[in-house]
Amino acid sequence: MAVMDKIVLRDMKFYGYHGVFPEEREKGQNFYIDVEAYLDLRRAGETDELEDTVDYSKIYDIIKYINENNKFRLIETFAHIISREILSTFRQIDRIVVRVRKPEAPIEGEFKWVGVEVERFSNEL
């Protein structure tokens, strides 16, 4: 049976220097990131112990570190690196979905945000 449990982090806000245009990498802008990490949480549900799950504060710290130490041209790369680092850090995660939203993208016209969503699996590492 497929694992349906997940840990969810929504609307994490980071100020970063990612974008195709030089001014985006110099001036910076806000990015919003969502993560859904799929894993079996039955043991954690039974034991009530942190070591039987994934500490979501550590997921946040990974994303914060990636954001603060890189200037990606593409948010596709940003999302991919986030997913890869989380999967390689937490081997108990089977599948991850990462969404990176860019509400201040340099596009003429009205929009709430643009973004990408990537889905990766532990067996792809």
**Phi, psi of 108, deg, nearest 5:** -75, 130
CA 26/CA 54 separation, integer angstroms: 34
Q: Are 4 and 45 in contact (CB under 8 A)?
A: no
CA 104/CA 12 separation, integer angstroms: 15
Positions annotated as catalytic residues are 102
Annotate 65-124 with DSSP letters as a single string.
Answer: HHHHT---S-HHHHHHHHHHHHHHH-TT--EEEEEEEETT-S-SS--S-EEEEEEEEGGG
